[in-house]
Amino acid sequence: MECLSRRKGAGGDTVALATLTGAPETGSVSAGQALSLRAFLERLERESAVDVVHVTEAVNPDRFEVTAVLQRLEDLDRFPLVVFDRPTALDGQSSGIPLVTNVFASRARCARALGLGPEHEGLELSLEYARREARRLAPAVIPREQAPVKAIVQRGDEVDLKQFPVVRHHRMDGGPYIDMTPVMRDPDSGAYNVAFQRNQVKGPRKLGIHMSPRHNWQIARKYEQAGLPTPVAVVVGHHPAFYIGALNVSPFDADDYEVIGAIANQPLRLTPSETWGDDFLVPADAEIVIEGEIPPGVREVEGPFGEFPGTYGPQRVRWVIDVKAVTRRRDAIYQDTFVGHREVSILGAFPKEGSLYNRIKAVVPGVRGVHLPNSGVGRFHAYISLDKRFEGEPQQAALIALGNVDFLKHVIVVDADDIDVYREDQVLWALATRVQAGRDVQVLCGVKGSALDPSQDEEGAGDKLIVDATRPLRHPFEARIEVPRDAVAAVDLARLIPPDQLARLGLGPLS
């Protein structure tokens, strides 16, 4: 470790304790109702219509007409869930299958997906995720004939992936990609693993699949070393809690179906697959399930693909999936994520923030907030706030964060009493006014990171940065300017500003 800083001194005044407010609602996601994407959409449209827009004109997802709409909205700083009612299939015909995307592009929507109120989109969401992640809830297995995903079953030559509205996302992408979650099952423990991975459509019954060296990669490697094909089921469309649950950071032998049930707060319903029967169960309430096998020793060129950092992963030599069967609901909904944009940043953030908070709190009890902001693609930056009692606590908190999430690169630690980690302008203000680089910045070189970080010199290893942007304790420090809070709270804008002018500010009409 290269230590470049001169530490701030100890002693002096301490800051007031911040208070966490608002206990999260922990009721079931949809009591009495099976976990499904359509149930979530119906409820969202009923309770928060502003969160959903429909594109009723026909669009061709393979010609960027889906991602172009999402990009236009993003350029306007708008992130609704978008339903494309009439997308074209890859065969050029009307698919008859609605396409849903941008589901996760708001933390408030993710909170709703876990049965929390949207007002709990901050630390409460992260802590509730961490609480549920530590539990397990056994799935419920139902017969095929009761499973909605078995309404239409296609096997062998009946399968044609070009009947689906698969999205080509970015200009250099190697083709249209299914970017939801392949499920694999460890041949030793029997545990299922669910992970977001890119799947390039290469033919009516063939996908290319990219795997980083994590759990699914380990499973496929075991099968391949035994000379066997790896069973895989790609789940395209499910309740968002299913996908949020899939982002858990659990040991290799943890069963993701059990963890997903715990995170969704209700048992995941499973049913036997068409290809492997009871030996490989698939989500019964999914919209579409693609079953296939990864043949051992077979590789093909795959990519490029626009990845989560907002850059393209290069064309590579990767595995393929020979598709054996597709099952779906009769009125199936196709789901996609806008990789490299806000929803994937959010998915990278809150599922890790809660466990980080808990680990830091065990050693630095004054921690008050942990946030992985969108500016760091939900993975590379962390903002930590704390009530500092001793010098060195910011560095300790940062080291715990870096030690627990290998993707993290840059950690900025701020004072909790006047900096909100969800307000990036405030964090950067603290950086501007409380940091001297020679004293408050530390760099650790050559540490494991994300192989998709385009700035690394060597694949997989990079540098870590710790910035202590807290006030020093050893001597008095200048205070942040402040309009008295009671004066601000007493302002009634609706009384003071005419309604038409408030509306021009996007604030009216106010009740």
Partner 1 sequence: MARIFWVTCPGCGDRFYCHTQDLRHTTWRLRCPYCEREFDQEESPKIEE
Q: Which of 337, 351, 133, 106 is nearest to 237 (CA)?
A: 337
Contacts of 479 (CB under 8 A, 6+ apart): none
CA 150, CA 288: separation in Å to the nearest integer?
9
SS3 267: coil
Out of 304, 310, 417, 422, the only residue in the binding site for partner 1 (CB under 8 A) is 304
Give least dist CB 303 to partner 1, A: 8
Q: Annotate each residue in 89-118 with x if it binds partner 1 (CB under 8 A) or - if it does not, as one string.
A: ------------------------------
Asked if the peptide bond before residue 509 counts as cis, ω within 30 degrees of 0, the response is: yes
Out of 454, 474, 475, 501, the only residue in the binding site for partner 1 (CB under 8 A) is 454
**Maximum Cα interatomic distance, the chain, rounded to a whole number of Å:** 76
316 binds partner 1 (CB under 8 A): yes
336 binds partner 1 (CB under 8 A): no
DSSP codes joined into one string, 169-237:
-STT-SS-EE-SEEEEE-TTT--EEE----EEEEETTEEEE---SSHHHHHHHHHHHTT-PEEEEEEES
CA 457, CA 460: separation in Å to the nearest integer?
9
Give least dist CB 316 to partner 1, A: 4
Burial state string for 185-198 with b = 16 or more CB within 10 A and e = fewer than 16: bbeeeebbbbbbbb
63 binds partner 1 (CB under 8 A): no
User: Where does this chain touch partner 1 (CB under 8 A) — which range of 144-152, 313-321, 394-402, 408-416?
Assistant: 313-321
CA 383, CA 123: separation in Å to the nearest integer?
12
Give least dist CB 409 to partner 1, A: 13
452 binds partner 1 (CB under 8 A): yes
Give least dist CB 439 to partner 1, A: 31
Which amino acid does the sequence have at 298?
Answer: V
Give least dist CB 220 to partner 1, A: 17
Give least dist CB 212 to partner 1, A: 11
Residue 261 or residue 303: which is nearer to partner 1 going by CB? 303
Out of 56, 189, 455, 501, the only residue in the binding site for partner 1 (CB under 8 A) is 455
351 binds partner 1 (CB under 8 A): no
Which parts of 164-183 interact with partner 1 (CB under 8 A)? 172-175
Give the interface with partner 1 as residue ranges (CB under 8 A): 172-175, 301, 304, 312-317, 451-456, 459
